[in-house]
Structure 1
Amino acid sequence: MVVDGVVYHPTLNKLINFLDNGAGREKCLRLLQYLARFLAAQTLSPLAKALQGQFAIVRKFLRFLKPLNNLQAAARLYDNKLTSDGIIRAFNIIKQLSFSGYLSLDQINLFRILKVVPTSKLTGKVVPRIANWCWLGALVSGMVCDVRQVRLSQSKITALAANDDEKKLLSRAYKDRYAASRKFVWNAADLFMVLNSLGYLQYQEGYVALAGVFTSLFGLQDTWRAAKA
Structure 2
Amino acid sequence: MIIDYQKIDTITIRRKMVLDTLVYHPTITRLIKFFDTSSGREKILRLLQYLCRFLALQDDNLATSPKKRLELQFLLIRKVLRFLKPLNFIRAASKAYDNKLTSDSLVRYCKIWKNVAFALYLALDQINLLHMLNLIPLTRFVTQTIPHWTNLAWLLSLFIGIVLDTRKVQIAQTCIYHVKHRSEKDKQNELDGDEDKKVLASARRERSMATRKLLWDILDSLIVLKNLSYIKTNDGYISLAGITTSLMGLQDLWNGTI
Alpha-carbon offset, residue 212 of structure 1:
0.5
- 1:127 is aligned to 146
Structure 2 residue 122 is matched with structure 1 residue 103 = yes
Which shifted more, 6-15 or 161-170? 161-170
1:10 aligns with 2:31: no
Superposed CA deviations along residues 188-221 of structure 1, whole A, max 9, x for unmatched, are 0000111111111011221111110011000000
Tell which has more relative contact order, 1 or 2 (C-alpha 8 A, sep 6+). Answer: 1
Give the gaps of 5 or more residues in structure 1.
Answer: none
Deviation at 1:169, TM superposition (A): 1.4
Displacement of 1:81 after TM fit?
1.2
Give the structure 1 partner of residue 66 of structure 2.
Answer: 47
1:42 Cα offset (Å): 2.4
What TM-score comes out, normalization by structure 1 length? 0.97
TM-score, length-scaled by structure 2: 0.86
Q: Does structure 2 conserve the Cα–Cα contact (< 8 Å) formed by 1:42 and 1:206?
A: no
Match of 2:50 in 1: 34
Identical-pair percentage: 47
Aligned equivalents of 1:7, 1:139: Cα separation in 2: 40
Matched, 1:208 2:238: yes
Question: In structure 2, how many angstroms separate the alpha carbons of the residues matched to 1:70 and 1:118?
Answer: 29
Query: Aligned equivalents of 1:41 and 1:102: distance in 2?
Result: 28
1:180 and 2:210 matched: yes
Deviates more, 1:198-207 or 1:50-59: 198-207
Cα pair 1:193 1:208 within 8 Å, conserved:
yes
Query: Partner of 2:137 in structure 1?
Result: 118
Over aligned residues, Cα RMSD in angstroms?
1.0
Larger Rg: 2
Q: Distance in 2 between matches of 1:72 and 1:52?
A: 31
Question: Could you tell me which of 135, 144, 154 is aligned with 2:163?
Answer: 144
Does residue 22 (structure 1) correspond to residue 38 (structure 2)? The answer is: yes
Taking the aligned partners of 1:153 and 1:86, their CA distance within structure 2 comes to 15
The runs of 4+ residues in structure 1 deviating greater than 3 Å are none
Question: Residue 36 of structure 1 contacts residue 48 of structure 1 at CA under 8 Å; is this kept in 2?
Answer: yes
**Which one of 83, 86, 96 corresponds to residue 77 of structure 1?**
96
Q: Which amino acid aligns with 1:42?
A: Q
The CA distance in 1 between the partners of 2:94 and 2:217, in whole Å, is: 23
AA paired with 2:149?
Answer: I
Provide structure 2 residue ranges, at least 5 long, that are not aligned to the other structure: 1-16, 188-192
**SS of alignment partner, residue 143 of structure 2:** helix
1:160 to partner: Cα distance: 1.7
CA distance in 2, matches of 1:85, 1:100: 23
Per-residue deviation, 1:91:
1.1
Deviations 1:68-107, CA, capped at 9 Å, x for gaps: 0011111111111111210011111110010011000000
- Between the two proteins, the alignment pairs up a number of residues equal to 228
The residue correspondences of 1:153-168 to structure 2 (distance < 5 A) are: 153-161=172-180, 162=182, 164-165=193-194, 166-168=196-198
Q: Among 39, 62, 66, which residue is 2:85 paired with? A: 66
Report the CA distance between 1:46 and its aligned residue.
Answer: 1.5
Distance 1:209 1:113 in 2: 22
